[in-house]
Amino acid sequence: MSKFKVAMIQMAVRKSKSDNVAKAVKFITEASSAGAHIITLPEFFNSSDEAEPIPGPSTQALSAAAISNSVYIVGGSIPEQDGNKIFNTCAVFCPTGEMIAKHRKIHLFDIDIPGKITFEESEDFSPGDKLTIFKTPYCDVGVGICYDIRFAEMAQIYADRGCKLLVYPGEFSMATGPKHWEVLQRLRAVDNQVYVATASRARNTQSGYVAWGHSSVVDPWGDVISMTDEKESIVYADIDLTKLETARWILPLKQHRRQDLYLSSSLNMDKIIRPQ
Ligand SMILES: O=C(O)CCC(=O)C(=O)O
């Protein structure tokens, strides 16, 4: 099964959690009717305000949607309540409705870009402590959430473990989205010779956090094969894993890696030319 279709759902998220979940299920049904096998929702697809446990109402709705549409669902993320902690969590469901993976965002977005954006995700959320891979009949898939995409090591571990598709539900803002969103996806794809796919929230200028949008799919050669603008839509892409083999055959990066040098600190100080 080297060919399959992914759908990245870019939806606008409003105040009402139940409306957001109902809308997500509607989009999943539409994407499934269009032939998608793996369907991904955006970060905080159900809202970012009110946490719930997993399983809970939002993830139960996703499980039911996976069964009724017979698809894999990468459930964007929701604020997950676990005891007195809250995590930014993506639950993944297989076509029989079982939750086959749960990724808690590892890297929390604590930044201050002067004049643009200050964000302290760790004020509300705790970080996850595990990387997450799930299996499908098509390929193994690595999961990250939004800021996780910036960390090349994580993507490399996924690729080294055999993942051929990396999926990032996300929501870059207008501060970093225009500059970094596309380039990061292309970097992760080219470095690891894998497919990279993202699903963002649609832009809502009334929201406190205005999303860049532009959900996309990038192939192992670094080409953007599908991308939308800032509005609500579904981004589809046909994945052909033979493209990945071709990219790896043309550029055998894995064979050319000098792991012996990267892991030991064989830094030849004598050869460093210092400015006079
Ligand atoms: O890395 C970025 O620039 C944006 C990340 C982000 O918005 C998030 O992780 O919520």
pLDDT tens for residues 18-75? 999 999 999 999 999 999 999 999 999 998 789 999 999 999 999 999 999 999 999 9
Q: Which residue has the higher pLDDT, 87 or 264?
A: 87
Q: Identify the weakest region by mean pLDDT among 143-157, 173-187, 196-210.
A: 196-210
What is the ipTM for the molecules in this complex? Answer: 0.97
**Is the domain 3-271 a CATH 3.30.43.10 member?**
no
Share of the chain above pLDDT 70, in %: 95
Nearest CA owner, ligand 1 atom 4: 172
Average pLDDT on 77-94 reads 98
Return the pLDDT at 261.
Answer: 84
Distance CA 189, CA 254 (A): 14
Nearest to 79 by CA among 56, 63, 97, 98: 56
What are the phi and psi torsion angles at 187 (to 5°)? -60, -50
Q: How far is the CA of 119 from the centre of ligand 1 (A)?
A: 9
Identify the band that residue 150 occupies on the pLDDT scale cut at 50, 70 and 90: very high
Residues 31/67, Cβ–Cβ less than 8 Å: no
Q: From the candidates 105, 139, 164, 243, which is the catalytic residue?
A: 105
Q: What's the 147 CA to ligand 1 centre distance in angstroms?
A: 4
For ligand 1, atom 1, name the residue with the nearest CA: 147
Give me the torsion for CA of 55, 58, 62, 64, rounded to 10°: 80
pLDDT (0 to 100) of residue 176: 94
Confidence (pLDDT) at 268: 64
Confidence of residue 263 (pLDDT cuts 50, 70, 90): confident
| Local confidence band at 272 (pLDDT 50, 70, 90 cut-offs) | low
What pTM value is reported for the model? 0.95
